[in-house]
Structure 1
């Protein structure tokens, strides 16, 4: 590393932008945030630059640090234009190049699931593991893979996007008759894993099973009633079925979970048992853990994009 004592990361979210400085052991030394400018690309670039300069000034740094940034969506490997961003003002722009120009510093970029994975592999739940697969279970379902604390990149820039694989057909065909399928995914396909394992997917499953709405956060707090248990049992079975495909292909040492649904305790007691019966092995030694750094994983992972530079 080129004589740097800090790593600089930014988490660009739909409602807020968070920036942080990390020391080389992963401790956050300085942090700042602001609201994300609403549907204004130029103001978003300016806000990111201002946060970076604010942190460097607070830390009495005399030179600009390279920037790692965590984004929704990702740049196309063909055009470099941002795609699939729920912050729609980013779509169609060369965000990485534009930031390098306006902030006058080198920039590395990864999506939120990749940054969570890198954070946890670098100094979180997966510090001691060689192969880590990160899973986001929230409004959507995302993922990323890190090997020896380095993100796995591919030619299509979609490594880890297991949420848009189809839920295995044999399992879907065994679902209770009360569940309506196929489920249409926003990507245009049917029965993507995301349509079953995301927060909205889980809520829809419960509503169709029991003809009652549910607030998903209820499942991570308190003692679930019998209806909740039935929904969770089905969810855990679907989750283990989908994860078995990942384990069969990647054989990770650890699967680490982030996102709102990662707080459901039954995931860590029931899914390992179910997973062992679904993988192509007589034993499943892959560990399942929640993210150590929680909501801070995005900005931390962004900073760690420069951790080996």
Structure 2
């Protein structure tokens, strides 16, 4: 059976058609245009799936990677930073339009699955996959299988409380990890400290010009991931998302994590992803493996 994977992002929707051996037959990206609303996104996804299906005469499965998770009771999307999806029956609407069943998982779970089976974490038993981009999320893979938890929120470290009564988060709480170490949060903090509005790619080479910015970032990164290790003790952590491209996370950042872990012996590998922004779309395909 051929596999179709769809990665729904805040700015782009990527689709891929793979054969049984995961060779790419067709691949395409289109803009999300979330400003046009939920119905527009659904139509774009359906159109892309049908276009990919037309490239093969084989039967196909469909997996979709989304921001946020599907509530196991209501079937509605929750915890999404693409706000127009929240409270909407995305999986049901796509299945209704296609006339067939699909598998849907959040972007962090798809990232973790792809990196554990095809990427940097291949060969490790317990994998914690981290997304640090527009938002902060995580996924857990144990022996090649996603661990989603009883209510489908396992791995959501981006919304554990880092600073009580801290920064306000779109989720309605305060002090979430996401509000401190996501890309937009880091850019906002740079503006507050330096008075300069810069994209993260420009800030990183200048980080030494603001010791405060880098120290705060490392402190928050270290505490956040150390908490994960204390609870899960994974065999490996793989970093993904735009923030994962910051070089000092793999030396100074790792040290900041190790310094806070509840153990006098810590050797958890903290690795950069190897699939880049393709992890989501490959992970979507792997949901049907």
State TM-score, norm by structure 2. 0.90
Equivalent of 2:146 in 144, 147, 151: 151
Deviation, 1:158, is 1.0
Higher mean alpha-carbon deviation, 33-42 vs 112-121, is at 33-42
Does the CA contact (< 8 Å) of 1:256 and 1:289 recur in 2? Answer: yes
Residue 70 (structure 2) pairs with residue 75 (structure 1):
yes
Distance in 2, Cα, partners of 1:148 & 1:19: 27
Deviations along 1:15-43, one digit per CA (max 9) or x if unpaired, are: 33211022444443311233336535444
Deviation, 1:108, is 0.7
Residue 234 (structure 2) pairs with residue 238 (structure 1):
no
Equivalent of 1:18 in 14, 21, 31: 14
Does the CA contact (< 8 Å) of 2:207 and 2:213 recur in 1? Answer: no
Describe how 1:197-276 pairs up with structure 2 within 5 A: 197-220=181-204, 222=205, 224=206, 226-276=208-258
Residue 281 (structure 2) pairs with residue 303 (structure 1):
no
- The equivalent of 2:111 in structure 1 is 116
Structure with max Cα Rg: 1
- The equivalent of 2:159 in structure 1 is 164
Q: Name the Cα RMSD after superposition.
A: 2.2
Question: Structure 1 84/274 Cα, relative in aligned 2: closer, same or farther at 3 Å?
Answer: closer
Distance in 2, Cα, partners of 1:211 & 1:33: 36
Question: Structure 1 226/83 Cα, relative in aligned 2: closer, same or farther at 3 Å?
Answer: closer
SS in 1 for 2:117: helix
Distance in 1, Cα, partners of 2:285 & 2:113: 10
- The equivalent of 2:87 in structure 1 is 92
SS in 1 for 2:244: helix
Does the CA contact (< 8 Å) of 1:13 and 1:36 recur in 2? Answer: yes
Question: Structure 1 192/31 Cα, relative in aligned 2: closer, same or farther at 3 Å?
Answer: same
- The equivalent of 1:174 in structure 2 is none
Unaligned regions of 5+ residues in structure 1, if any? 170-180
State TM-score, norm by structure 1. 0.85
Equivalent of 1:31 in 27, 30, 49: 27
Deviations along 1:46-97, one digit per CA (max 9) or x if unpaired, are: 4323322322322x3233x121001122222221112233444433332212
Does the CA contact (< 8 Å) of 2:112 and 2:128 recur in 1? Answer: yes
Unaligned regions of 5+ residues in structure 2, if any? none
Question: Structure 1 219/147 Cα, relative in aligned 2: closer, same or farther at 3 Å?
Answer: farther
